[in-house]
A and B are shown apart, each in its own frame.
Chain A
């Protein structure tokens, strides 16, 4: 029998026992819904964790420092007291070269400096830090009060809530007000009388008025190698323009090159975490120390894969139970349609035709149940999201999505549903195909 005719006859048969077949299909749908809800929860949590980690700047970033002299300390593999070679300076030239590497989005220094801010005539000591524009998507800025910086070099500041509370009992009222930032600026010395380069620099106290534009709950992560950025955040370009003294300024001075400013560390942000290794190797080849947390990301992926697998197994149990419903429905159909099967055989249907007809009926129930189950599963996922966000909202936390349905889940769930249904149809289909036509025709 041709496929189209099989399909038409199968649909006709399914319509005949509409209630029973609908209930069986609903059973499959519940099984698929359970599977989808479980797996979408696992995948959603994985996506959530990956997103948070990606936004933390830890997994698409490479932390670069000048090569330490300790690199020459090779123990048994080489000379212990080899002559110390001067490390290649991590300067503006190196920064430009790194920025030109393929897949690199941006390269920025970690600028942090102690400061004293004045607000309403009172001084407050704190730590200030430059924030790169890409940090806008950091989780720390989710749900922030006010807004992010209006430009990369705007005279604006974002306060961490603890600092804001020190400044005012009503932190929210600080937005729009100004604070005065006092800092130590590194200034080059004038050339000496002989026209030679100066052999030092001066440090001058300076002030800058900043408008408070936002308040964040948590201190944004400072990237690999630093504990945090600071409690007063300013645009990175502004922080660079302030030329504040940094910890490595003394090192520049001691190396006799005080006017060639270098960075203590640079953060290289890559457009895609899988590209991190490639960029990291290129930076190492340039003569710098570089490391990333990409391996930790892989471990996390393995953990979630195992987690998803177990959720999938538990979710599948309902589908397996539902498949027993298909066996029951089709066995009942054989009893009811015994004579009909005899007539089919008398008119020329082969055992294969009868088997295929029952398979198509089972597969159709699987397909319909799979599609319906997807919708129900998605609704369950949305309900989980709704409940989670309701809880988070009550605790004044930003909304998140803990369930996710990817296209591959849709395809796999429907295929799995059809396969389970076909497997459930093997016994009834074989039994129907094996019916003796003479006996079947006698059946009343």
Chain B
């Protein structure tokens, strides 16, 4: 049985009216013989039979309007060898309908009735510089929690970094202006240098003189934030560093370097709270914290992140280890929440994981100190006048000498070392 549907009669015609059938049920008809007349919007058209066969059923009556693709007539096709084309025409009769796809008639009225009344909630959306939006996302900062210091309350890169990375936010020089929500022309966010004014792909001047292949990479996100943060630190902190070593030869087995260091920092803070503090040069005040919240520098594929372990002084070693692991994993997977990146009172950098004994780690304001641990080595030391080989951990403490004295610093360091040198 072959079904023939009203074919696409050309150029957008979607329906036709049956004028007259030239056959009846039971008639035999040859391929190409006139089968029926239909009237379209344009003309009366003769539709020939697509196959040779016998009419089994007519599916439309004269006067009826049918749509392109609607069933017209059913045949019992001849099994004759009238030609492969006939067979092809017959077996693909339902493909002999519409060549290609005609759009469904969607009632335009219905489409327009979908026009809803203005009951939409008016959003107060946060307006942010796109780069700030992207940085906030990578740092896990909620834009809605920020106050934009850009024009019209626009959130800038600086605003995000102030919260996402503890930086000196007061250096931004913006004055929120009462401007309309839309600028009248092209604008750039004013504020921190480089926030919006660097063209993509600009090489450092003269870089080509170095010779050889070179890859120009525009700083983004964390790396860019670090560049800004370090610049601010340099411009404000009076950094002073002191170096020493902790002798670990009395350690019993099973000690975990990271958690021992964290416990030692807590010990240091107990001995000298002045290094577990924030300094505000504007108000010339410092805040000494009871809790020790240690920001731990984590190197991720995208750059430096500083998740915070809170209340280190309260936690057991196993809890410290668990929390450390959790934060490091979250850092690498970029699932840290914004509150996990904020408000450390002291910073730790285990830079010696791969190489390096001593360093001058950078204080990140408003914190006033940072401890760096170098790689633990087997050193030759003097013991009771004789040489001995002991495992030692190099320690580098940088402090902000605007508000921390050298004596305080070394007292802190001494306490850290004393705790570290405990057997467990």
Q: Does B associate with A?
A: no
Residues of B with Cβ closer than 8 Å to A?
none
Binding site for B on A (CB under 8 A): none
